[in-house]
Amino acid sequence: MRIVWQATIVAIIAWSCVGSTSAQMPMLRLPAMEPNASHASRFTRLPPVTRVASSQTTAIEQRLANVSAWWEHHIGEPHRQGTESVAVSANELIAQALAQSDHVLAVSQGPLIQQEDVLKAMADFDPAVFFDSRWDDLNNPVGNTLTTGGPTRFNDHHWVTRGGMRQKSQLGGTLELAQEVGLQDTNSLFFLPDQQAATRMTLSLNQPLLKRAGREYNESAILLAEVQTNIAEHELSRELQDHAFSVIQAYWDLYLQRALYLQRQRAYDQAVKIHSELKSREQLDSLRSQISRARAAVAIRRANVQRALLTTRTAQSRIVTLTNNPSWRNASVVELTPVEAPATAQSTVDLHTAFQTALHYRPEVAKHMEEIRQAQIRLGISKNELLPTLDLVLETYVAGLDGNYDVSDSIGSQFADGSPSYSAGIVFQVPLGNRGAKAEYRRRESQIAQLMYELNAVLSQVSLEVEIAITEVEAAYHELHGRYEAMLATDEELKYLFDRWRLLPGDDRAVSFVLEELLDAQDRQMEAESSFVRAQIAYTLSHFSLQRASGSLLSVGQPMHVANPIEYTRIPAVGPPLHRPAP
């Protein structure tokens, strides 16, 4: 298993290194809310992840797989008078939470915010229109008669306007087309013609040939922004899975608290029945000590019922907070009732399949793969910056000149008179030793090595969590099995003690001891039922925990580096629900 695991790690890392680096980040779409379920006259049970038929399955396990506890048929019944009963399922609650929760809506903005950085990086290649204008009014003393031809001060009135368009290409070059218009007049006798209108149209190109050249270098900002958006999406996926798991826990906690309330209510009814029967026989054979003991049991169990009722309301409030459903805010008029029963059938999970699923869908793994990809892009940037600067500079222009500030004739003469002028050259520069660029390159290499070690640590942690989750499924089932046997034993004990108490004479001293044992047995039965339903919930949640550990609690359309729209949908925890008719 270890060899297969290490081989899988190497394969995924290699796939990431050669994967496409130009896929744009898709938008996120949250699922629409499911319609509200009707009142739970039908009760459904969640089957296990994988049903297996084994010849060694014991009779108790077969009974446990199809067990229908008495409280399951009353979970959907309202516990409080004057409230509207609203039947809910875990899937419906998750859909509402993903659509309405303030926390979900807040974290969902992360990828959208990062996605704007992609457009911002792309905007560096957008064409830009520029315009600048300057007016100079000079009055300077003359130190050379050739400057003005006579006047002792030189007066120069000069207005220059320049406008045009420039654009940076994906190869790194900057292309600029500009038109310049200048109006100038001086008091120099040599300035001809007077009131000059000088124009020039210039086309220039500055193209790097080595450093900062090439599509990969110049589009790296876009790729980095896309990778950062992917990282934000994987963070969102982790947040959504955590929130969905919280909703699932809250749903099953509501089921648990309602079941505990029903168990305590039945124990209270049993104590009331015993107390009423003793009171009715007070003049015959009931002892005062027996009546007092029964009355004490009634008082204690009444308090337990009230406590369970308040705990149920607290569990409901937690669901309302997680889903942020405004119509459920008033707990005094709305009572949420679950429509699913926990799983009880034994299940088995393939360890290798769970590992493979975790490798593809765990947000932590995908996030670290993106961080490695980000480091590789930065390494490519630093490698390019090791090169010397060698830029090709090209420029050509046409110019015109006219007097009397005749701009239109000056522009026309740009193309009618003379011929274009041009210039070409290169710019070369390299720092001696190039220590800065080399240090940056070594830094990027070390960062990749660091990220690879971190990825190995994350994969080890993920494998550990998957193993623990699978072990917990098996351990939870064994506990469920034991709790079920214990509940059956306490039921038999209680039946025996109740029959014995009913048959013994009331004035016999032994009946007081039997009554005490009977009340204690009822408490033990309540605790056994409570332990059994808690084991049921733990077993059911262990399946969800396994899905969370494998990253499939909320499914993503494709694993990693995809360009398809992503839709978050619920995967049933343990298969499609099975409808059970009401008793």
Q: What pTM was computed for the model?
A: 0.76
Assess contact for 456 and 429: CB atoms under 8 A. no
pLDDT in tens, 481-525: 899 999 989 888 888 887 777 666 555 556 667 777 888 888 888
The mean predicted confidence, pLDDT, of the chain is 82
pLDDT at position 508 is 55
Task: Say what the pLDDT of residue 287 is.
Answer: 72
Band of pLDDT at residue 2, cut at 50, 70 and 90:
very low
Give pLDDT, residue 125. Answer: 95
- Which among 341-350, 429-438, 502-511, 568-577 has the top mean pLDDT? 429-438
What are the residue boundaries of the structural domains of the chain, listed by start? 2-51+74-118+222-339+350-377+445-580, 125-216+387-444
| Residue the block writes with tokens 């029903």 | 262
Give pLDDT tens digits for 163-220: 999 999 999 999 999 999 999 999 998 888 889 999 999 999 999 999 999 999 999 9
pLDDT, position 204: 96
**Of 344, 358, 315, 316, nearest to 553 (Cα)?**
358
Given a contact cutoff of 8 angstroms between Cβ atoms, the answer to whether 349 and 546 are in contact is yes
Cα distance between residue 186 and residue 59, in whole Å = 114
Phi/psi at 79 (nearest 5 deg)? -100, -15
pLDDT, tens digit (0-9, with 9 covering 90-100), for 76-102: 888 887 778 899 999 999 999 999 999
Q: What is the 3-state secondary structure (H, E, C) of 180-211?
A: EEEEEEECCCCCCCCCEEEEEEEEEEEEECCC
pLDDT at 48 over 80: no
Residue holding tokens 């506890």? 69
Question: What is the reported pLDDT for 293?
Answer: 85
* pLDDT value at residue 387: 95
Q: What is the mean pLDDT of residues 337-355?
A: 87
Position with higher pLDDT, 559 vs 280 = 280
Note the pLDDT of residue 54: 44
Output the pLDDT for position 73.
87
Q: How many CA atoms lie within 13 A of 462 on its CB side?
A: 27
Which residues on neighbouring strands pair with residue 121, listed in sequence order? none
CB-CB contact of 33 with 99 (8 Å): yes
Q: How far apart are CA 189 and CA 149, in angstroms?
A: 5
How far apart CA 4 and CA 295 sit, in angstroms, is 66
Q: In this predicted model, what pLDDT tens digit does every residue of 453-463 receive, in sequence order?
A: 999 999 999 99
| Stretch (H or E) spanning 452 | helix 435-503
Nearest to residue 86, comparing CAs of 331, 299, 382, 435? 331
- Mean pLDDT, residues 354-362: 90
- Percent of the chain scored above 90 by pLDDT? 56
CATH number of 2-51+74-118+222-339+350-377+445-580: 1.20.1600.10
Angstrom distance (rounded) from CA 264 to CA 397: 95
pLDDT, position 286: 67
pLDDT at residue 60 in the model = 65
| CA pair distance 228, 231, nearest whole angstrom | 5
What does the pLDDT average to over 453-480? 94
The DSSP result for 359-383, as a single string, is HHH-HHHHHHHHHHHHHHHHHHHHH
CA distance 88 to 76: 10
pLDDT score recorded for residue 218: 95
Query: How far is it, in rounded angstroms, from Cα 537 to Cα 258?
Result: 12
Provide CB contacts within 8 A for 509, sequence distance 6+: none
| Confidence category of residue 370, pLDDT binned at 50, 70, 90 | very high
Write b or e for each residue in 465-497: b if 16 or more Cβ atoms lie within 10 A of its Cβ, otherwise e.
bbeebbebbeebbebbbebbebbbebeebbeeb
Alpha carbon of residue 324 to chain centroid: 18
More confident residue, 171 or 285: 171
Torsion sign across C-alpha atoms 46, 49, 53, 59:
negative
Question: Between 20 and 160, whose confidence is greater?
Answer: 160
Residue 14 scores a pLDDT above 70: no
The pLDDT, as a whole number, for residue 283 is 67
Distance, first Cα to last Cα, the chain: 48
Q: At 461, which amino acid appears?
A: Q
pLDDT, position 577: 38
Reported as a single tens digit per residue, the pLDDT across 293-340 is: 888 999 999 999 999 999 999 999 999 999 998 888 876 788 899 998
pLDDT at residue number 17: 40
CA 557 to chain CA centroid, Å, is 14
The answer on pLDDT for 574 being more than 80 is no
Report the distance separating Cα 223 and Cα 500, nearest Å. Answer: 80
- The two three-digit tokens of residue 170, written as one number: 């994906």
Residue type for position 51: R
| Res 76: pLDDT | 86
pLDDT band at 238 (very low <50, low <70, confident <90, very high): very high
pLDDT, residue 439, reads 96
